[in-house]
Amino acid sequence: MAGHIPEETVEEVRKTSDIVDVIGEHVQLKKQGRNYFGLCPFHGESTPSFSVSPEKQIFHCFGCGKGGNVFTFLMDKEGWTFIQAVEELAEKNSISLPEEKRSASVNEDDGSQRVLEAHQWLAKLYHHLLVNTTEGKDALDYLTERGFTRETIDTFQMGYAPDKPGVVATFLEKKGFHPQEMVKAGLLTATEGGDYLDRFRGRIIFPLRNHLGKTVAFAGRTLGEGQPKYLNSPETSIFHKGKLLYNFDLARGFIRKQSTIVLFEGYADVISAYQSDIKNSIATMGTSVTPAQAELMNRYAEKVIICYDGDQPGIEASVKTAKELQKAGIHVYIARVPNQQDPDDFIKAEGPDRFRREVLETSEPFVGYLMRYYRNQFNLQSEGDRFDYIEMILREVAKLERAVEREYYLQELSKEFSISLESLNEEMEKWRPKQKSPGVKQSPQSTVKKNDPTSSAGNKPRPAFHNAERKLLAYMIRDSYIAEIVKENISASFNIEDHQIIATHLYAYYEENDSVNVSEFLETFEEDRFKHLVTDIASLSLSPEVPEKEIEDYLYQVKMEHWKKENTNHLKKEMKEVEKQDPIRAAEIAMQLLKENREWKTRN
């Protein structure tokens, strides 16, 4: 027994609850190497030191030391008991707990659980009617003719809603669901005469599952000429289309491995791609991508390939979607489907291999795509249009995080329009500050500070604490034992932010490995500047034996610099508070600051 809940039930809840998904609801996580990183929710910090391991299903903060599993996180974050954490996750995953075991402090069910159960029952009914009855034969034949195999139909639980008004209402009522309750859930409609009809009757059914694999809504496609051609569930207590990504539950594991998403706009496109072994395929609920969907994609993937229909509306939707994804910090590519086809039709006509080779593998970065897209909207023979075109492209180039990408596209513009690279770069820099979205936090790894202490100006020697931190990191890279000593003494509290980031990555790396393969460790960083810095530090000359006295001295230097900053900031704050009311005290504090600065310079 685990408290009042059977151990086997606790284990089922633990296995079903993905720690990245659970913590991702509270913390904006970014994948780096094998792990995910974010700002710790348990203490204030500006540099991510909070690590989540999907392989081990644990979290750990190298700053404050908090760590544990999915239950521990909810207990610490929400102030819940262990029982409450288990109950919350069990409810999210539709795992039944013995009624008498539920804690009294958990909120009463608002009806969402019953609505969820009704959807599970109905998904089973629709699928059974499609594959096992004569009523579903025409729908099954249609799907088979479209190239969907029986295995795919079962995997996606496609179904059929019979064209008889009372079948579903009767089925749900027998399962204990009141018709009015099911009208509110979006599964039935009520007539003026008081009858209850199946909302999706006469349609092929595509269940819409949440990220845990539970059906929360349906999309129905008419078999004949009826209108509307597609009919979706309304938003309910369990279905919010702006937060859901179609097929994310099946694609998530493949997305993690490849760190790439193929984004479609239609359910059939996703299913065809998945059947063709392109299993990192998802779709939004419509062509508009919401910030919540973009954030979810950014949490799991570094790159998104947009693969919408090849016609003009599809092209325009691709550009709109790409801009939303770019705001979330995602590297966006756009695939072009030839001859204005949709992806499903292309796969059916040309086969999966050609789709991969000619569509996905030839996808181009968003800015390159935009250059071609906007070129068709301007008359480049006109001087005014040329300037407008160049300005529009410069605005887009300015949004790019990687300097090498910005330089590449500036060179393209320079060659095409015979404008100097310096002029283009100067013009582009005007737009750089304006591109930061206030709603998106810049990753510390994607921002180079003007006064970056890790880059020395000219031949100016580094302060003693700076060299001490570099030496510590070098020994930590060489020896896990020293890394453990440093972790126990200062964790990731280095004074230089870049060193904090390297230490955080190093601790996470040692969770998975006994020793450091520097080449492999470098791949946990996105930006080249971090790779260069780690390579530089790893190349430092070190004593062959572990110099414990030297390590102690380095730790002292780091701690003293940290103390100095804290003490100085405290004195400055005090001086600012008293300088108007007590000028004499303010002068005393100023003298104390000068004295401490002189003493610190003498020690260093």
Which of 18-22, 127-131, 478-482, 503-507 tops mean pLDDT?
127-131
For CA atoms 170, 172, 177, 180, the dihedral sign is negative
Confidence at residue 443, expressed as pLDDT on a 0 to 100 scale:
38
What is the 8-class DSSP label of residue 2?
B
Cα–Cα–Cα angle for 489, 491, 497, nearest 5°?
125
Query: pLDDT (tens digit, 9 = 90+) per residue, 73-108?
Result: 998 888 888 888 888 888 877 787 775 545 444 444
Q: Is 419 exposed, middle or buried (0-12, 13-18, 19+ CB in 10 A)?
A: middle
Q: How far apart are CA 310 and CA 326, in angstroms?
A: 21
What is the 8-class DSSP label of residue 100?
G
- What would the DSSP string read from start to end of 409-444? HHHHHHHHHT--HHHHHHHHHTTTGGG--TTSPPPG
Confidence at residue 287, expressed as pLDDT on a 0 to 100 scale:
63
Is residue 575 pLDDT above 90, yes or no? no
Which of the residue ranges 14-28, 95-109, 356-370, 448-462 would you say has the lowest mean pLDDT?
448-462
The percent of residues above 90 in pLDDT, for the chain, comes to: 38
Sorted by sequence, the CB contacts under 8 Å of residue 492 that are 6+ apart come out as 47, 49, 62, 63, 500, 503, 504, 507
Average per-residue pLDDT in the chain?
83
Is residue 441 pLDDT above 50, yes or no? no
Own/partner long-range contacts of 509-518 (Cβ < 8 Å, ≥24 apart): 509/33, 510/480, 510/483, 511/35, 511/51, 511/53, 511/56, 511/60, 512/34, 512/53, 512/55, 514/480, 515/480, 516/477, 516/478, 516/480, 518/477
Confidence at residue 580, expressed as pLDDT on a 0 to 100 scale:
58
Is residue 3 pLDDT above 70, yes or no? no
Residue with more model confidence, 192 or 278: 278
Q: How far apart are CA 347 and CA 360, in angstroms?
A: 12
Query: pLDDT (tens digit, 9 = 90+) per residue, 306-346?
Result: 999 988 899 999 999 999 998 888 899 999 999 889 999 99
- Within 10 angstroms of residue 116's Cβ, the number of other Cβ atoms is 21
pLDDT confidence tier of residue 110, bands split at 50, 70 and 90: low
Confidence at residue 283, expressed as pLDDT on a 0 to 100 scale:
96
Asked if 497 contacts 528 with a C-beta cutoff of 8 angstroms, the reply is no
Which of the residue ranges 23-32, 46-55, 408-417, 434-443 would you say has the lowest mean pLDDT?
434-443
Query: pLDDT (tens digit, 9 = 90+) per residue, 204-258?
Result: 999 999 887 889 999 999 987 777 888 999 999 899 999 899 999 999 888 888 8
For CA atoms 38, 447, 454, 571, the dihedral sign is negative
Residue with more model confidence, 586 or 412: 412
Confidence at residue 107, expressed as pLDDT on a 0 to 100 scale:
43
Query: pLDDT (tens digit, 9 = 90+) per residue, 114-124?
Result: 999 999 999 99
Confidence at residue 440, expressed as pLDDT on a 0 to 100 scale:
37
| 43 to 48, 49, 77: CA distances (angstroms) | 11, 10, 11
Mean pLDDT of 193-206: 91
Mean pLDDT of 348-374: 92
Is residue 5 pLDDT above 60, yes or no? yes
For CA atoms 97, 99, 100, 105, the dihedral sign is positive
Q: How far apart are CA 372 and CA 428, in angstroms?
A: 19
pLDDT confidence tier of residue 161, bands split at 50, 70 and 90: very high
Q: Is 200 exposed, middle or buried (0-12, 13-18, 19+ CB in 10 A)?
A: buried
Asked if 491 contacts 66 with a C-beta cutoff of 8 angstroms, the reply is no
Give the DSSP H/E element, type plus range, for residue 333: strand 331-334
Residue with more model confidence, 439 or 494: 494
Mean pLDDT of 145-153: 95
Confidence at residue 271, expressed as pLDDT on a 0 to 100 scale:
96
Is residue 495 pLDDT above 70, yes or no? yes
